[in-house]
Structure 1
Amino acid sequence: MPSHPQLPLSRRGFLTASVTAGAALALASVPARAAGGKRPFGRHGSPAARLTPKTLYVDPHGSGDFTSVRAAVAATTGSGWTLVLAPGTYRETVAVDATRTQATWIGASEDPRDVVVVYDNAAGTPKPGGGTYGTTGSATTTVQADGFTARWITFANDWLRADHPEITGTQAVAIKVQGDRSAFHHCRFLGHQDTLYADSMALTVFARQYYAHCYVEGDVDFVFGRARAVYENCHFRTVNRTDLAAAPYGFVFAPSTAGANPLGYLVARGRITSEAPDSHYKLARPWVPSSDTTARPMLTVRDTWMGPGIDAVAPYTNMSDAFPWQNQRFAEYRNTGDGARITVPANRPQLTDEQAKSATRAAYLGDWTPWQGVR
């Protein structure tokens, strides 16, 4: 994504403090295992009593099969593995390649604040062997495999522009998801620019993704990519900025839907809040990458509450004047809140009741029905 030269409010201290406190509470609430007094894994079992033969336990304190998520993933060749992550901070980059299908990651305490996978690369961060990471390479977690599921986990990138004024490539991805049938329940995604990269493996691949009861935080284009993705009952929060004299501070969504894909992002029954002053954020702008100038970004936001942080008069803007947002596929339906007020109708395309019947989870996900057991 294009760089946006802004200095974000630091969130690293808050993230570290909340993880430490949450982990302590979670561990104190469950008695230690009888054998050796090792740290517990709560209701999700232990290495001595596994959920399935393909279950591995990860604990940074040494009580599981592995102390790092990356090492556990490396041990899971093939399909159908489950990782249970004990409370703690996993400071590492992790990649689930396309061969490791049907993987499930579970936060053992059932509180995503307790289990944090985090690193701090940015697009412009120098690589050890030369060059820089680029946007994709900056991702803390990358998921290419189909059928990936995560529950109760925080995915974060805590790289800060304020700490690295010499770096101009300020995109810093918390997670890049490319696999089909990827599902996230009660997860948190923390970052600033380009936090959640909901994408696919290729232009011709329509990767379906589902996010339920998740929390996403950031500033510039912090939910972006070309996936066919549904966000239900999710909370999107824009962070404040102290370096800018004028709006906009950033943009919530930046879809890059391939032109051949009839469906892009669907946000349903969500909530958009802000730490910033009123009207200082745009709802979305279309991303038409140089690698795919035929893209027609698509975003539908329906039945969602938008706080005053969203600019109600002009909620959309262009990323490039060559591809105006009016020529893309942006629409809303029955949204509420100060940020959803229709003050200039031409600036807020609305679905008709008939059109809204096709803006549903089932229509976007087709023959795939994600598990609905977690509320």
Structure 2
Amino acid sequence: MRANRHERAAQHRRRRLSLRVGIPVAVAAAAGLTYGTTLGVFGEDAQPRASAATGAGSAATSAAWADDVADGFASVNALGQKGTYGGRDGKTVTVKTLADLERYATASDPYVIVVAATITMNPKGKEIKVASDKTIVGSGTSGQIVGGGFFLGQGVHNVIIRNLTIRDSYAGTWNDKEHDFDAVQMDGAHHVWIDHNDLRHMADGLIDSRKDTTYLTVSWNKLSDNNKTFGIGWTENTTADITIHHNWLRETEQRNPSTDNVAHAHLYNNYLQDVAGTDITSSYGNYSRGNTKMVLENSYFEGLNNPVTKDSSASIVQRGNVFVGTSGRNESGGTAFDPKSYYSYTPDKAAEVPAKVKAGVGPRATLGTSASTSSSASASASAASTLTVAKDGSAQYKTVQAAINAVPTNNSSRVVVSIAAGTYRETVKIPANKPHVTLQGTGGSRKDTVIVYDNAAGTPKPDGSGNYGTSGSATVAAEADDFQARNLTISNDFDEKANQNLAGHQAVALRTAADKAYLDSVIVTGDQDTLLLDTAAKNKLGRAYIKNSYIVGNTDFIFGRATAVVDRSVITLKKRWDGTSQGYVTAPSTPADRKGFLITNTTVTGDVSARSFYLGRNWHAGGDASLTPQTTVRDSTLSAAIRPTPWSDMGGFPWKDDRFAEYKNTGAGSGPASGDRPQLTDAQAAGQEIGDWLGNWTPTP
């Protein structure tokens, strides 16, 4: 978006690009918070149903997400449009190419367009001119638009842009005056819903709402790593009605948003964050300009300069906002309006906003997906059966293992083991011939249902046949494909201090040894070797996706040869049994033709000494020189506990011969690129996204 005469001067500087230190890239394509803090509502807000076919094909719309409609001002009946529902009345098509995306987005007929691949705009900066009555939605986390975006022109209406990652049209100049490369630009459109997207690193604006665009709702998006973020107005008229809620604006310099001549601007439950010590410093936060009337409520401002500003002619009514570490202008005044006279809404408490927004923004695994393209478990979700467990005898089974034993061998549909709140001191094994099992805690939080035991590698087996060994020490061992765990704690509480006589102190809480393991809103806690992410065999693929969860430990506590993603979670570092602070977060043992561990959008923290923990070391299991262990940590917050040289050798193998790197991490434990701290280039990072790790698998409940 171009600056106009109303925009006040901002401090600009050239952004320092990521330093380019090369690392090997895997050859296979398909492959501060602390523990105990309440993170708020985790998980998706829609459920999957059948949808489109693969390729550029079509199918009848039947997925629940395709029936979702906008809230806020986009829900208001006006200008001949009854709310915003996108292409719900048309066919559903799935696209994987730029040609197909443009073909359907510009068509006159209504369409639900499922983007199921990374699509690169050509030429760079291209903005597809979207026609009315369209839903453009990413398929799970795999829908990405690179190097361009979308344009909604005069009179275009009833458009939903949802669940996409739109990124990287940046042209090398931070305060770019030459390129108008936006993620979403609207000139005179109405009834538009922009929801659950990840928008970042564009040459101009992330969102431009211009020239009387109205009845717009922008919700649950992550907007980050950009100069000009979200501009509204570019008009002499004062007619637009706009709702902006539950968005995370992180490391954005200006227009957060800048709101010009808007009749009714309702901003609530947004999280604006400027992280100290980074290259990007906010110039201002929410800005009410011209004749705008703004209601700003229950939002959370952290570290911003001039968090709330207004022109003398504009109005801002503030209520319930929280300001932490902010400075400069924080203004209010004038009269505004009552949003509830236009639509219903219930704001969250401002103190809960950072955790809730971090957990909920961006693409959802269950949006844009369909039974026809997901796992067999999802395809038969309607036929899922439930087995109940309660230790007091009020359910079908008293132990979790008893319920697992009752699961039919080679079952073809999902079986949910519903576990009542309580502590279950037992070991649990889901054998390979019992796929599609979900362990589901039913308590109010993930801490209410706990499965715990205290075996270690050196613990003798009761039958005298030797010790358990590392993998055998697991409290829960999931050896079946399509395993899921939700809303519970899995723990190994082996007491190292009391068992110094034992030779092996590795004590696994959870071991996954199959493909498509999905952990959502769980706590996995232990000391050494907490979470073993393995495969059924060295030559077999084993993928795991962990989100909205806590992983706790001190030594090699995320380890194994699986292809695994830790997303939007908290990794908590803890001291050793003797009170010392030292350890390693990851110990991958990745085969050369696979991807290893990806940690993204995650906080690494803990009550340990500064500079005492490595992010990882290279485990060549059994001395196998053919392995090329891999860990990538990106877009995450690292506490001061992380060492300035965060990688370490293991077993005589130099870590520099393997695959370790970072990308755009922040926090006191982050650092610039060096020979001892490789950073991905932007081009390398584009090939190390969640979709690159999970391949053709979209995790769904």
Short-chain TM bin: 0.7 to 0.9
How far the C-alpha of 1:104 sits from its partner, in A, is 1.2
Q: Distance in 1 between matches of 2:415 and 2:579?
A: 46
Q: Distance in 1 between matches of 2:570 and 2:433?
A: 32
SS in 2 for 1:340: coil
SS in 1 for 2:621: coil
How far the C-alpha of 1:184 sits from its partner, in A, is 0.4
Q: Distance in 1 between matches of 2:384 and 2:567?
A: 32
Structure 1 residues 292-301 or 192-201, which shifts more?
A: 292-301
Q: Distance in 1 between matches of 2:444 and 2:660?
A: 35
CA deviation vs aligned residue, 1:90-144 (integer Å, no higher than 9, x gap): 1000100111111112111251100111000000001112211100110001001
Q: Distance in 1 between matches of 2:524 and 2:656?
A: 29
Q: Distance in 1 between matches of 2:507 and 2:528?
A: 6
Q: Distance in 2 between matches of 1:110 and 1:231?
A: 23
The correspondence for 1:364, drawn from 685, 688, 693, is 693
Structure 2 equivalent of residue 308 of structure 1 = 640
Q: Any conservation in 1 of the 2:497–2:578 contact (CA below 8 Å)? A: no
SS in 1 for 2:648: coil
Tell me, yes or no, if structure 1 residue 59 matches structure 2 residue 393: no
The correspondence for 1:349, drawn from 678, 686, 694, is 678
How far the C-alpha of 1:241 sits from its partner, in A, is 3.5
Paired residue type of 1:126:
P
Q: Distance in 1 between matches of 2:600 and 2:636?
A: 6
Structure 2 equivalent of residue 117 of structure 1 = 451
Structure 1 equivalent of residue 667 of structure 2 = 337
Structure 1's unaligned 5+ residue stretches are: 1-13, 16-50
> RMSD across aligned C-alpha pairs, in angstroms?
1.7
Structure 2 equivalent of residue 90 of structure 1 = 424
Q: Distance in 2 between matches of 1:242 and 1:310?
A: 19
Q: Distance in 1 between matches of 2:576 and 2:451?
A: 25
SS in 2 for 1:326: helix
Q: Any conservation in 2 of the 1:215–1:235 contact (CA below 8 Å)? A: yes
Structure 2 equivalent of residue 320 of structure 1 = 651
Q: Any conservation in 2 of the 1:258–1:292 contact (CA below 8 Å)? A: no
Q: Any conservation in 1 of the 2:588–2:630 contact (CA below 8 Å)? A: yes
Q: Any conservation in 2 of the 1:59–1:68 contact (CA below 8 Å)? A: yes
Structure 2 equivalent of residue 150 of structure 1 = 485
Structure 1 residues 211-220 or 127-136, which shifts more?
A: 127-136
CA deviation vs aligned residue, 1:307-350 (integer Å, no higher than 9, x gap): 001112x21111122x11010100110000111122x7111111
The correspondence for 1:259, drawn from 578, 592, 595, is 592
How far the C-alpha of 1:291 sits from its partner, in A, is 6.2
Q: Quickly say closer, same or farther: Cα 1:189–1:367, change in 2 above 3 A.
A: same
Greater Cα radius of gyration, structure 1 or 2: 2
Paired residue type of 1:104:
T
Q: Distance in 1 between matches of 2:628 and 2:427?
A: 32
The correspondence for 2:631, drawn from 285, 291, 299, is 299
SS in 1 for 2:402: helix
Q: Distance in 2 between matches of 1:239 and 1:301?
A: 19
TM-score (norm 1): 0.82
Q: Any conservation in 2 of the 1:143–1:178 contact (CA below 8 Å)? A: yes
Paired residue type of 1:250:
G
Paired residue type of 1:337:
G
How far the C-alpha of 1:190 sits from its partner, in A, is 0.6
Q: Distance in 2 between matches of 1:356 and 1:144?
A: 32
Q: Distance in 2 between matches of 1:294 and 1:172?
A: 27
Structure 1 equivalent of residue 541 of structure 2 = 206
Paired residue type of 2:692:
A
Paired residue type of 2:655:
W
How far the C-alpha of 1:284 sits from its partner, in A, is 0.5
Tell me, yes or no, if structure 1 residue 108 matches structure 2 residue 442: yes
Q: Quickly say closer, same or farther: Cα 1:122–1:67, change in 2 above 3 A.
A: same
Q: Distance in 1 between matches of 2:523 and 2:624?
A: 30
Structure 1 equivalent of residue 403 of structure 2 = 72
Q: Any conservation in 1 of the 2:436–2:483 contact (CA below 8 Å)? A: yes
CA deviation vs aligned residue, 1:229-270 (integer Å, no higher than 9, x gap): 01100110110236367x6x1100111101222x11111100
SS in 1 for 2:471: helix
Paired residue type of 2:642:
I
Count of matched residue positions in the alignment of Structure 1 and Structure 2: 318
SS in 2 for 1:345: coil
Q: Any conservation in 2 of the 1:195–1:223 contact (CA below 8 Å)? A: yes
Q: Any conservation in 1 of the 2:497–2:577 contact (CA below 8 Å)? A: no
Q: Distance in 1 between matches of 2:636 and 2:403?
A: 38
Q: Distance in 2 between matches of 1:66 and 1:292?
A: 44
Tell me, yes or no, if structure 1 residue 168 matches structure 2 residue 503: yes
SS in 2 for 1:106: strand
Structure 2 equivalent of residue 280 of structure 1 = 612
Q: Which structure has more strand as a fraction of its residues?
A: 2
SS in 1 for 2:491: strand
Q: Distance in 2 between matches of 1:288 and 1:273?
A: 27
How far the C-alpha of 1:178 sits from its partner, in A, is 1.0
Q: Which structure has more helix as a fraction of its residues?
A: 1
Q: Distance in 2 between matches of 1:53 and 1:293?
A: 44
Q: Distance in 2 between matches of 1:57 and 1:187?
A: 19
Structure 1 residues 180-189 or 78-87, which shifts more?
A: 78-87
How far the C-alpha of 1:191 sits from its partner, in A, is 0.2
Paired residue type of 1:67:
K
